[in-house]
């Protein structure tokens, strides 16, 4: 029902109707309500381009893209870029129409006159693929490595004009997310974050090192995000 209502509101907004703009700006208005309580708010979106995700993306200040090591992630980046540019264009044109019809209403209701994500791409993470090892040394797989090599170029080509100010393609690589095998379902079953899992939750052997390594990787990603959006991070 919410998808349907937001879809209708979208068409109202790009036609310049203030009621449509008030509905599709729900994320922006919500963030304004809680901004004094939190330093950062993260919104986790599913892999879709539906009306809920559209309003979230247009209402956020920044966005990042978790990616897998597969061709579908590359195609996904292209799709996201194409749709974002279309949405941004439609939104900006709708604001112009709305200001012509209802002068000053956009500002009166605290709505955005330009989408926050217009210059808000702050980076991407990569899911590591499963590799074999010989004598403890990782053995890369050519097919996967070929995809990995092409991802930065694809991101720069598709999203380059949306990069946050001062960013480079190197600084936008936030970090790698490891393959965690059985730790994911275990975490879900015991209702605990991965980095808090212990022996009482059922982890054994090498899983202890996996949870420790995972915490370290999250720290790297968090610091990269903080650096790209120019906020301080505890040492």
pLDDT of res. 163: 94
pLDDT of res. 173: 93
pLDDT of res. 137: 53
CB 27 within 8 A of CB 60: yes
- CA distance between the termini of the chain: 45
Determine the Cα–Cα distance for residues 195 and 156; give it in Å rounded to an integer: 32
The structure's pTM equals: 0.82
Determine the Cα–Cα distance for residues 58 and 117; give it in Å rounded to an integer: 6
pLDDT in tens, 144-177: 567 667 788 889 999 999 999 999 999 999 998 8
35-59: average pLDDT: 91
Determine the Cα–Cα distance for residues 94 and 10; give it in Å rounded to an integer: 10
Residue 199 per-residue DSSP state: G
CB 16 within 8 A of CB 97: yes
The CB density around residue 157, as the number of other CB atoms within 10 Å, is 11
Confidence category of residue 119, pLDDT binned at 50, 70, 90: confident
Q: Any idea what the Cα angle at residue 196 is, between residues 193 and 201, rounded to 5°?
A: 90
pLDDT in tens, 51-109: 999 999 999 999 999 887 777 778 888 888 999 999 999 999 999 999 999 999 999 99
Determine the Cα–Cα distance for residues 225 and 173; give it in Å rounded to an integer: 10
CB 208 within 8 A of CB 231: no
């Amino acid at each position: 029902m919410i998808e349907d209502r937001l879809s209708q509101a979208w068409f109202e907004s790009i036609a310049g109707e203030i009621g449509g703009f008030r509905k599709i700006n729900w994320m922006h208005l919500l963030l304004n309500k809680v901004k004094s309580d939190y330093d950062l708010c993260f919104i986790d979106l599913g892999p879709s381009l539906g009306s809920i995700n559209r309003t979230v993306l247009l209402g956020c200040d920044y966005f990042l893209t978790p990616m897998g090591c597969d061709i579908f992630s590359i195609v996904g980046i292209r799709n996201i870029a194409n749709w974002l540019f279309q949405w941004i264009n439609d939104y900006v044109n709708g604001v112009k129409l709305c200001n012509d019809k209802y002068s000053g209403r956009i500002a009166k209701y605290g709505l955005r006159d330009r989408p926050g994500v217009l210059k808000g791409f702050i980076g991407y993470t990569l899911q590591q693929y499963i590799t074999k090892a010989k004598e403890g040394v990782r053995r890369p797989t050519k097919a996967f490595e070929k995809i990995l090599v092409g991802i930065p170029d694809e991101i720069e080509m598709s999203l380059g004009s949306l990069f946050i100010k001062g960013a480079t393609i190197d600084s936008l690589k936030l970090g790698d997310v490891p393959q965690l095998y059985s730790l994911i379902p275990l975490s879900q079953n015991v209702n605990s974050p991965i980095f808090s899992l212990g022996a009482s939750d059922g982890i054994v052997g090498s899983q202890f090192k996996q949870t420790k390594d995972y915490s370290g990787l999250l720290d790297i990603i968090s610091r990269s995000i903080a650096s790209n959006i120019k906020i301080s991070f505890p040492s």
